[in-house]
Structure 1
Amino acid sequence: MKKTLTLLFLFIFLISFSQESINFENTTFKEVLAKAKREKKLIFMDAYASWCGPCKLMEKNVFPLAAVKEYYNANFINARFDMEIGEGREIAQKYQIRSYPSFLFLNGDGDVVMKNFGYMGGEDFIAIAKEANNPLLVNSNPKALFEKGESDPAFLLNMMRQNAQTDYELAKKVSERYFKVKKDQELTRDDIGMLLYFLKSPSDPNYQVFKDRKANIVKEMSEDIYNQFDVNIKISKVMESSLDQNTGVINDDYFYKNAIPLVGKAEAETALNRMKVIYYPNVGNFKEYEKAALIYYKNADDFDPEELLKAAWIFSEHVDDKISLKKAEVWAEKSVMKSENAENTYILAKIYAKTGKKDNAKIYAEMSKNIAQQQGKDSSAATQLLQSLK
């Protein structure tokens, strides 16, 4: 009797333990695929690494949540593989898994229905599962479904996201169908982001959506930003062609010749300088950046102080002309006037030092050092600047 009770308690313990988390299959990937096909379910795969902290936190904090295990156990064939041992290495290579944890939703043929990654809370973890769990995808390849004309909005949205980085042209075609389906519905902020991501030219079918839905889009962004997007869309190909790939320099003459007929002289000039202040710092051409920034930020009151501070920082690091640096003083001062912090006071101090305003430089370098120390931040840059000003 005692032995029977012991076995019974052990059995109950094992059942309760198995329900402590998502029920992961303890078998090969091939067998997981076969089971998914047999039961007409999608596969959820936790692709992890033994050393990965966020992976352990998901296992400890999220997988055991009642709502999580209930949804995943009811709707998926669940599997876990360490991507650095055994067949996990082949899986990692096949699905190009480079960050952990990665979460894959696959059909029985091994096609990716959805892919996500990183630590997330229970609600978000269930949300991605619900998004992936489209009955259309259980037995069908997403691309084949699309080619057959599938127009389910959730399916199209998911397909756009999954292919945006790996097959841009396919994702762009999917986006065109998606926005046709959404023609009588309000666009969400995410929808607008997708629309703009795939919109490169006025000849794109979605450009008409952009124009027709202006009122909807302007609810999510200012009209000024909408107009900036409109200008950039109209001249995006001109921008691309105006960049000399050999020298890395933008050909102003070519740009103006082709852009002015599309958007007018004033818009073309603004767009060109906006392009330059984004492009030139990234390629290390600070002489051209200096010229463009002085034109683009001429009316400093039209710009956010944080954008001006970024320009001031680049000038403090890479510009020596004192007349140019005087302009950067104004940009940095606007940020400091809005709210003093360790970063903007340091940048202003550095610019003052370069323009010969030693006393001002000392005041703001000291301020930067004190703010940094009070907030537990690194104050070494401000300290070094103070020492150089002695």
Structure 2
Amino acid sequence: MRSALLFIGFLFLWSSSLSAQVLFETSLKEAFKKAKEQNKIVFVEYYNSDCPVCKRLGDLLRNDSLVAAYYNKNFINYAMNTNGSLADEDNTFISESNLHFESVPVLLFFDKNKEFLHHSGVNVDAEHLINEGKKAKHPDFRTSGLKAKYDKGDRSVKTLYAYCDLLLVNKNEAMLKKVSQELFESFKKEELPTKKSYIVLKQVVISPENGFFQYWMAHLDDLKGFETGYKAGTEKSYLEKIVLNELRDPNIKNWSTTKKEQFKSYILKLNITDQPEVYFE
């Protein structure tokens, strides 16, 4: 009798531990097979096992009963670890989905037919994870619906910023330059000196012709105090990244004199080097 009670207790503890964690499939193929059978969305945890934020996300997914209950009920779940290299099946899938990420972790959602629905960066808290899951389930809030909103004329800051993020993930640079400039034009000018403006620069601006770039180049002394911790003082690095990327242009020697002089001034103002001519030799 005592042995039976101990066994029942063990089963209870084991089942309780399972209910507190998101259950992940062992392969992408199995995940989509189950998604079709159960008519569910597939959630993909795209992460790197060496990433500190990813480790915190992993702890949350595997130890929070509210998150586990929501994701196990509504999605078929799968985890992709980018440490080293993705499995061939995973790599092919991400490539064919036209998704390109420069950082992790990312929350990804696909319908049962492997069509992309939604993606999000991560705040490591239960409310954020559940809210992003709800967005993935609602057609009006999915990132895959942003193009349709834009095409219908939605030029709100919220929509333009989110659409820029999607265009960045899709590596559609031409459209990203266009939409990020429209974002600048829709942005409240009294908010340009704020952290909100800096975040736009940091996250979605890639062109030196963009209004956010031009604003912060003209107000370099104010571009400080927006980063803390180990990133403190790195605010200007995002301007430098844009300038240096432009300087990689293979046709740089054919630039007009005006453009060369403009970039020499950027190089000097950002203290990239005190000999900007070296980039044009």
Alignment check: 8 A CA contact 1:47 1:81 kept: yes
| Counterparts of residues 227-246 of structure 1 (less than 5 Å) | 243-244=252-253
Question: In the alignment, which residue of structure 2 is the partner of 1:79?
Answer: 77
The answer on 1:156 being equivalent to 2:160 is yes
CA deviation after TM superposition for structure 1 residue 172, in Å: 2.8
Say yes or no: does 1:274 pair with 2:268: yes
The one of the two structures with greater contact order (alpha-carbon pairs below 8 A, sep at least 6) is: 2
- One-letter identity of the residue aligned with 1:160: C
Corresponding residue number in structure 2 for 1:168: 173
Aligned position for 2:109: 106
Contact 1:105/1:115 (CA < 8 Å) preserved in 2?
yes
Residues 86 and 259 of structure 1: CA distance in aligned 2, closer, same or farther (over 3 Å)? closer
Give yes or no for the alignment of 1:21 onto 2:26. no
Change (3 A) 1:159 1:17: same
1:322-359 CA-partner distances (Å, limit 9, x unpaired): xxxxxxxxxxxxxxxxxxxxxxxxxxxxxxxxxxxxxx
The gaps in structure 2 that reach 5 residues or longer are 225-234
The sequence identity of aligned pairs, in percent, is 13
Give the secondary structure class of the aligned counterpart of 2:17. helix
CA RMSD of aligned residues (A): 5.7
Sort the Cα spacing of 1:110 and 1:35 in 2 relative to 1 into closer, same or farther, 3 A. Answer: farther
- Give how far 1:45 is off: 0.8
Deviation at 1:184, TM superposition (A): 7.5
CA distance change for structure 1 residues 289 and 161 in 2, over 3 Å: closer, same or farther?
A: same
TM-score, with structure 1 as normaliser: 0.43
The structural deviation recorded for 1:175 is: 2.5
1:62 to 57, 60, 63: 60
Partner secondary structure for residue 16 of structure 1: helix
- Is residue 131–residue 158 contact of structure 1 (8 Å, CA) maintained in 2? no
Matches within 5 A, 1:158-237: 158-164=162-168, 166-183=171-188, 186-187=191-192, 188-195=194-201, 197-198=205-206, 200-201=208-209, 206=211, 220-221=222-223
- Out of 25, 30, 34, the position equivalent to 2:32 is 30
Match of 1:343 in 2: none
Aligned to 1:144: 148
CA distance in 1, matches of 2:153, 2:34: 30
Structure 1: tracts of 5 or more residues without a match: 246-250, 261-266, 293-390
Amino acid of the structure 2 residue aligned with 1:44: F
Distance 1:177 1:126, change over 3 A: farther
CA distance in 2, matches of 1:33, 1:149: 34
The number of residues matched between the two structures is 247
TM-score (normalizing by structure 2): 0.55
Note the C-alpha offset of 1:3.
8.4
Paired with 1:259 and 1:53, the residues of 2 have a C-alpha distance of 42
Partner SS, residue 64 of structure 1: helix
1:44 corresponding residue in structure 2:
43
For the pair shown, which has the larger CA radius of gyration, 1 or 2? 1
